[in-house]
Amino acid sequence: MASHFDVIVIGGGHAGCEAAAAAARLGAKTLLLTQRISTIGAMSCNPAIGGLGKGHLVREIDALDGLMGRVADVAGIQFRVLNSSKGAAVRGPRAQIDRKIYLETMQMTLLGVPNLNVLEGEAIELLTKGGAVVGLTATSGVYACDSVVLTTGTFLRGMIHIGDQRTPAGRVGDAPSNQLSTSLLSHGFTLGRLKTGTPARLDGKTIDWTELPRQEGDSVPEPFSYLTSSIKTRQVPCHITRTTEAGHRIIQDNLHLAAIHSGAITGRGPRYCPSIEDKISRFADRESHQVFLEPEGLEDDTIYPNGISSSLPADVQSAFIRTMPGLSEVRILRPGYAIEYDFIDPQELNAVLETKKLRGLFLAGQINGSTGYEEAAAQGLMAGLNAALRVAGKPPFVLGRDQAYIGVMIDDLITRGVSEPYRMFTSRAEYRLSLRADNADQRLTGLGIELGCVSDERKHSYVRKEDGLQRTETLLRSILVTPQQASKTGIDVNHDGIRRSLFDLLAYPNVTVEMLTANWHAVRSVNETHLRQVAIKAQYAVYMDRQSKEIAAARASDDLRIPRDFDYSLVNGLSTEVRSRLSHVQPETIGQAGRMEGVTPVAVTLLTVRLKHLSKRQAA
């Protein structure tokens, strides 16, 4: 073999970028192999990063020194915190992105990462020995390695559908990866099919903007990265239009021509991001649907109409789009399309995203049945870190459901599998009160420092912030106030004679940071960012005390491990269906078994009793 690498990452999308950078940060000699270096970091679908649940993932990636947050802060052209009027646990940072700036910044960042080599080439075949990956054959050469991370996106036997037109492609302008699918099949993997879609692209110069409501960003943009002090890039508005009854009639009259309705597509699409054909079919009583017109760049007139992805013929798409306000004369730059691609059942993975069939083979992103830039990047980060740790002979890095949305996502994937592309929502996290976007660094950066994947710059910034937060909380807890004193400042509490700290007062719904700074001189000198962070902690303190007990019980279940290849026929009382499910997934812990679909609490109890019995026998 011509070359040897510790870790080879296949694919230069969001998962591949994070995986390659993460492995290299841990000191692994890493190769990023991509079909075209010029498309590394390309945003294949919508020009946006973050959102509800997704923004949490970006903050967590950043807390572990990943790339997405910092690059998005450079390329963001409109920042908004979604659900800003609601509790901090469900707020989600989001940004419109300049595609060109994002791509160029990501490439510049990646090419400067030590220990990372970037080469062009198509992966052809995985080379194995003794049940482990030992190398890779590509169009550019043959490479030996100790671990491989596959981040193939929609490229595995990708097929684009526009009406009855079918074009083999990984995305528009890029060839699919067919031979790698064949290699995976030869190694015993079962490949399924999923699909996703994208809308037409519009020429902004041909849109009548005077008819359309503007959607402005936040007056003070909130960055994704904890290392970004402020946003420097010029900010721009988005606009809003709506579908019409006339447009709905056009779609209804032509539904039989859409690939997803004609039977040409067999893969399941994302239920939470349906095509416009699906929306019209499923919500026939709706007179219109909102469409967000999102700019793709500061120097680019292309507009992304968010909400109308379609696989209808190009002429039908054009006719439908022109029925919407402001778009009667619009020029279509590129029709929307659906794309179908191969994926592997994520239940074939363990908690570090390594396949159970082949040691040293890690999967991240859409190959695992997920959808979205943020979901892919988070998986890429974890797969890259664990691929490097495996090579170094170090313990794996696993995040629990109580530690991060990343942990929730990976556990969901490997435990429950997917019937449709997986998308992150805050509702998926049972401990979302503690897994907030505002405290991702407090939850994870310390772990990253211990692991060795965090830069000195981030480490020093984290230590300074932690010190500031601690001093702020100590100050607020040290100032005690009687009910009478509180009333004089407009804070209404029970007149029970109990002195309360300012920290305690912040837990009251009508008490704000501004009230404290207005009435207590000592508070005015505190860093505002630190003060607001501690205020959020105070607001959730009473709930966190309750939740900590739930977390402790869940951790106890996850600490009880199930031996690899455990014989479930030894557990009396399990149904045949439950035995089959457990044998297929091979959960690593009792907690994971209990979260599997179809595994009842009674089954978990029977399994726990059997494991404890075996443990006692082995100890004797």
The residue ranges of every structural domain in the chain are 3-198+340-451, 201-337, 456-549, 560-619
Does the predicted TM-score (pTM) go above 0.95? Answer: no
560-619 is classed CATH 3.65.10.10: no
Task: Give the span between the Cα atoms of 218 and 495, in whole angstroms.
Answer: 40
Task: Give the span between the Cα atoms of 170 and 153, in whole angstroms.
Answer: 8
120: number of CA atoms within 13 Å, CB side? 6
| Residue 345 structure tokens | 């059942």
Structural domain 201-337, CATH architecture? Beta Barrel (2.40)
Residue from 361, 340, 185, 328 nearest 270 by CA: 340
Conformational region of residue 52, where left means phi above 0, alpha means psi within -120 to 50, and beta covers everything else: beta
Task: Give the span between the Cα atoms of 484 and 386, in whole angstroms.
Answer: 57
| pLDDT value of position 128 | 97
| pLDDT value of position 620 | 63
* 497-536 core/surface letters (b: 16 or more CB in 10 A; e: else): eeebbbbbbbbbeebebebbbebbeebeebeeebbbbbbb
510: number of CA atoms within 13 Å, CB side? 7
3-state secondary structure of 133: strand
CATH of 456-549, one of 3.30.70.1710, 1.10.10.1800, 3.40.50.720, 1.10.20.60: 1.10.10.1800
Residues of the chain scoring pLDDT < 50:
1
CB 412 within 8 A of CB 379: no
Task: Give the span between the Cα atoms of 52 and 56, in whole angstroms.
Answer: 7
Fold held by 3-198+340-451: FAD/NAD(P)-binding domain (3.50.50)
| pLDDT value of position 597 | 87
Residue from 305, 317, 274 nearest 45 by CA: 305
Secondary structure of 232-271 in HEC code, one letter for each residue:
CCCCCCEEEEECCHHHHHHHHHCHHHCHHHHCCCCCECCC
| pLDDT value of position 1 | 43
Query: Distance of alpha carbon 225 from its chain centroid, rounded?
Result: 15
Residue from 197, 133, 188 nearest 345 by CA: 188
| pLDDT value of position 211 | 85
CB 364 within 8 A of CB 376: yes
